[in-house]
Amino acid sequence: MSVIWHDLECGGYAEDLALWRELADRHGDPVLDVGAGTGRTTLELARAGHRVTGLDRDPELLAELRRRAGGDELVDTAPADAREFALGRRFALCIVPMQTIQLLGGTGGRLAFLGCAREHLLAGGVLAIALADELDLFEVAEGAPSPLPDVYELDGVVYSSRPTAVRDDGDGFVLERNREIVTLDGSLSATRDRIRLDRLNAAQLEREAVTAGLRPAGREQIPATSDYVGSVVVILSV
């Protein structure tokens, strides 16, 4: 089930792919894709001829990534938490797409990840991290119109995910969605999904990176779309 919700809520995002391809072309292989999920970015880079390892803590998502890779020798997977991994090899480029860096539980979690990433970079290697420092806040009132849902149909079963709120909780943002499943017999089930993103900006991340032994090496911008917020990509080097 996690594969369906991941693809429905994240799989359609493509605004950042050109930047990850550009960075991979510039810095070379191998590439480590942190928070790879079902392979949105990993498979895109492999199609462009790069050797990529997708790291994710959800084995179900990685199993789907491997299935979609179809035995492509350019693709590898690593089941691990981004805050604690030891792969025994190094990479020319490590990328952290979307807002994965803001899911690590604050400064301590980020520093743990930054330390792991530094240990996995080749000499001259680069770490590129996307983050969103501000989100548009909203909350759907009871009975009021809400944003259109993302919808997916599989074997006659319909899955939908509708954003219902983005709240500021002081140290971060809470994103809420209503997930619904309509089965072949018409029965409906619904659950509420909540994700919390740590509040983070580029300058703060760069300061933390220096503490972890990395050096700021520039920033890139990913523009917003009608469905997704824009991001700043912090570039770091060893």
User: Could you give the domains of the chain?
Assistant: 2-133+200-237 (3.40.50.150), 138-197 (2.20.25)
Structure tokens at 67: 């299935």
- Counting other chains too, the contacts that 219-227 makes at CB distance below 8 Å and 24 or more residues apart are 220/19, 220/128, 222/15, 222/16, 222/19, 222/130, 223/15, 225/15, 227/12, 227/13
- Tens-place pLDDT, residues 151-182: 999 999 999 999 999 999 999 999 999 999 99
- Tens-place pLDDT, residues 42-96: 999 999 999 999 999 999 999 999 999 999 999 999 999 999 999 999 999 999 9
Q: Over range 123-147, report the average pLDDT.
A: 87
Rounded to an integer, what distance in angstroms lies between the CA atom of residue 175 and that of residue 164? 8
Number of helical (H) and strand (E) elements in the chain, helices listed first: 6, 12
- Tens-place pLDDT, residues 89-122: 999 999 999 999 999 999 999 999 999 999 999 9
Structure tokens at 86: 């030891």
108-112, 125-129, 147-151, 229-233: the lowest-pLDDT one: 147-151
pLDDT at 145 over 80: no
pLDDT score, position 160:
96
